[in-house]
Amino acid sequence: MSGDVRRALVASTTPGARAAEDRLRGAYDFVPLADAEMVIALGGDGFMLQTLHHMLENRSIMPIFGMNLGTVGFLMNEWRLERLEQRIAAAKPFKVSPLRMTVTTIDGEELSLPAINEVSLLRETRQTAKLEVAVNDRVVIPELVCDGVLVATPAGSTAYNLSAQGPILPLGSGLIALTPISPFRPRRWRGAILPENTRVTFRVIDPQKRPVSAVGDQREVRDVSHVAVSIDRTTPLTLLFDPEHTLDDRIAAEQFIT
């Protein structure tokens, strides 16, 4: 990517990110987001997801180069003030196709929301959730009794999915992870790895007594009755990484952390 592209700069509200924003604006030229060809994002993974969702909602899909001023920074590059143009010119693009969850609530409301990391279904009360799970419209688990269940992309497989003992998926693998959260029955089921063109649907059994919420990354819909999850290929996102520290390298390294 050329280093002379029109860049917009966005930052999280943390003091560290705001201080870095001031330093960058003093050293480089930036344009308003509406006039930009790419975005520089300062913050952590949560802010990166927030920025990507903003781009999806506004249909302003453009490459994004993140610099870590948060905690984990899995989706970010190292923060450095120097040589920004050279880093952008040498950056390696990686395309991420988000999930799309289509939700029906118990009141009959229908919503469609994107998720870059994962879609999770979670119990709302002390009552365990009871879910029917179907893959490509074929019921594979008539009754999953659990705290919840999630569907994760490769980019999100090292986030909530990994904490729930789900598998790490290499980027470009063409796979998604279906991972239960504290399953009670079937107790020995540990999830599944599925082709990315799979459509996974969940039906909440007895949603009035055992209410369930559906969460796409950071956006929650409560009291759901049905949720369908599939890859949305219409809005691919492009993340830019320094050549020496790409996202697939990070995912591979995560498998050796003890």
DSSP codes of every residue in 5-66 = S-EEEEE-SSHHHHHHHHHHHHHS----GGG-SEEEEEE-HHHHHHHHHHHHHHT----EEE
246 band by pLDDT with thresholds 50, 70 and 90: low
Q: CA-to-CA distance for 175 and 252, rounded, in angstroms?
A: 15
82 is in an annotated binding site: no
The mean pLDDT value for 150-159 works out to 92
Round to whole Å and give the CA distance between 214 and 224. 7
| Statement: residue 2 has pLDDT above 70 | no
**CA-based nearest residue to 63, from 74, 52, 53, 73:** 52
Task: Find out whether 175 is annotated in a ligand binding site.
Answer: no
Task: Please state the rounded mean pLDDT for residues 64-68.
Answer: 96
Identity (one letter) of the amino acid at 112?
S
Give which of 112, 102, 196 is closest to 154, Cα–Cα.
196
Is 60 a residue whose pLDDT tops 80? no
- Span 64-70, average pLDDT: 95
Whole-number percent of the chain with pLDDT over 90? 77
Q: Are strands 200-204 and 110-115 parallel, antiparallel or unpaired?
A: unpaired
* Mean pLDDT calculated for residue range 128-157: 96
Confidence of residue 18 (pLDDT cuts 50, 70, 90): very high
What pLDDT is stored for residue 80 in this prediction?
96
> Is 28 annotated as contributing to ligand binding?
no
191 is in an annotated binding site: no
Across the range 116-120, mean pLDDT stands at: 96
What residues are labeled active site? Answer: 45
Q: Which domains, from first to last, does the chain contain? A: 7-97+235-254 (3.40.50.10330), 99-231 (2.60.200.30)
Q: What does R_g of the chain's alpha carbons equal in angstroms?
A: 19
Say if residue 166's pLDDT is above 90: yes
